A and B are shown apart, each in its own frame.
Chain A
């Protein structure tokens, strides 16, 4: 495949001291390509958000490199950093906390446009705001003059997407973009992300704890546990034919209306859960190839 937009090359991140600290990311490798979505799936504390923040250059890796189009991102300053921030935009989990309550929606979008789109003249800003809102299927005339508290969670998340897209990014990092939304509006937001990815050839880094939505959104998947990516590759291949004990455990715990708790066969053995956690937490660098685009850490 051609040069990835974003690549993590043996990236590790330790919080606290080098020896006794928390190893939030351990030798993480992945590549995000344009026009594709990569889902990083893991439970809380697995390191998925740490990876998202390193992709945003909010955290610097303790070791390893984050590469953007083959260029190292470490040490970017001034205009270099601004260019990166324009090219890599983020959508946050909490649609209620990520908009400024004191400003209108139009203000939020104008600010992004002024910062990242010097090609748009001041006189054309209003029209550009309308265009961005229409792009995420919000009625611009209604939404633009409103304040965040006047919108629903789903509408706010669409505004966040519009704001991110207004910078004309190449990469979109979405950290649990739907986990705080009502179930009936979640798919709409995910569909929107997918449409935007296809229409603008974006690379979408989709961070989630919900492996079923990962399948819905992403072509590629990386399953994280305890800072390590334990299994990765084609989303369908990994989910249909999981190899790592943690991936198997995770998949067996996903709510499935077809298997009842009263059915003994569908139960998880709590003793086995501990064993899997111990295996998955071990440092492991040996990789086994499970299929054409399907890899798993040796156990």
Chain B
């Protein structure tokens, strides 16, 4: 696909060990279209977070991306970016939200200050401009703008996670990588946040690379899903198909591990 926003080709990542290397990602290829939500499903150790790190160029030793791997974002070769280009690429092109993102806010800075930090670094804007943008972004995630004067501890976990998402979107990135963004939150709060992101991506047109172990949630939110097992992508397809007609045995077994509200399991 040439019109893909994110294009991952033959991605192979090893964790280098003293005696043997561990292949965390093995020849994985997928595309994410503009405005699309693509899900990476799988259990811990399957390589899904390693992919997220590689896409945002956050991997470091002992992780080694093997030759022949290719990651392109809007036509740019992500793996070939130099330091300067990388600083520009992060936040502007790709933003990241992690599971513990709500704890990544600086506890001694007001929310306003943390927005200003990102905005000044990347756009060189003034305080006044930053404040306007902060108000706009907080409103987007259903937080009253006047609360930008508050400190992180004055917000609940769900609100802090929403603030991090708002910071991520302040520079209108093309792709937001979300690695278990709501796993630490209650289901009602989780639903509120993901519903909001779903609306926002329809309005603003960004793509999402969404990572979770919760297949049910993934089908609700994603357009397409790739299922990972020990570093390999064993199945890839539209969410409906992954749910209704899973082909790979592992996908079927994964479904059978989720209890259903109606009794029994989902699979």
Interface positions of A (Cβ within 8 A of B): 43-44, 182-184, 186-187, 190, 209-213, 215-216, 236, 239, 249-262, 266-268, 270, 273
Contact = CB atoms under 8 A, between A and B. Distances in A.
Contact of B259 (A43, A216, A262, A270): A216
Contacts of A260: 219-220, 239
Contacts of B190: 253
B259 A187 contact: yes
A81 B219 CA distance: 49
A6 to B, nearest CB: 25
A268 B191 CA distance: 8
B85 interface: no
A262 B213 CA distance: 21
Contacts of B263: 215-216, 236
Nearest to B184: A44
Interface stretch (B48-56, B63-71, B130-138, B250-258): B250-258
A253 B217 CA distance: 10
Contact of B198 (A209, A211, A257, A261): A261
A256 B216 contact: yes
Contacts of A211: 261
Q: Is the interface of A mostly helix, strand, loop or mixed?
A: helix
B89 interface: no
Interface in B211-267: 213-217, 219-221, 239, 243, 253-254, 256-261, 263-266
A268 B192 contact: yes
Nearest to A182: B43
B123 interface: no
B234 to A, nearest CB: 14
A239 B259 CA distance: 13
**Interface size bucket, B side?**
35 or more
Interface of B: 43-44, 142, 157, 186-192, 194-196, 198, 213-217, 219-221, 239, 243, 253-254, 256-261, 263-266
Nearest to A257: B219
Contacts of B256: 187
B257 A250 contact: no
Nearest to B190: A253
B187 A253 contact: yes
A101 to B, nearest CB: 20
A261 B218 CA distance: 10
A258 B142 CA distance: 27
Nearest to A262: B198
Contacts of B261: 211-212, 215, 239, 251, 254, 256
A92 B235 CA distance: 35
Contacts of B239: 257, 260
B254 A255 contact: no
Given A44-B186, A268-B195, A212 B260 contact: yes
